[in-house]
Amino acid sequence: MSEQTDRKMIATGIVGTVIAALCCFTPILVVLLGAVGLSA
C-alpha cells in the first residue's frame, strides 16, 4: 500500500470511531444528565 492510502485508511478509521463513540455515548449522557437533574 502507498503512504497516501494508509493515511486515508487511518483517517477513515478515526472518523468512524468518533462517530460510533458519539452514537454510543449520547444516550448514556442523556440518561446521566437526567438522573443528575432529578436527584438535584
pLDDT tens for 1-40 read: 788 899 999 999 999 999 998 888 888 889 998 988 888 7
pLDDT of residue 2: 86
3-class SS letters over 7-37: HHHHHHHHHHHHHHHHHHHHHHHHHHHHHHH
pTM of structure: 0.56
Whether 26 is covered by a domain: the verdict is yes
Which DSSP category does 1 fall into? -
Whether 20 is covered by a domain: the verdict is yes
Cell triple for 7: 493515511
pLDDT of residue 13: 96
Domains held by the chain: number: 1
Whether 30 is covered by a domain: the verdict is yes
Whether 6 is covered by a domain: the verdict is no
Cα 1 from Cα 13, distance rounded (Å): 16
Cα 37 from Cα 32, distance rounded (Å): 8
Whether 5 is covered by a domain: the verdict is no
Whether 3 is covered by a domain: the verdict is no
pLDDT of residue 18: 93
Whether 2 is covered by a domain: the verdict is no
The parent domain of residue 21 ranges over 12-40
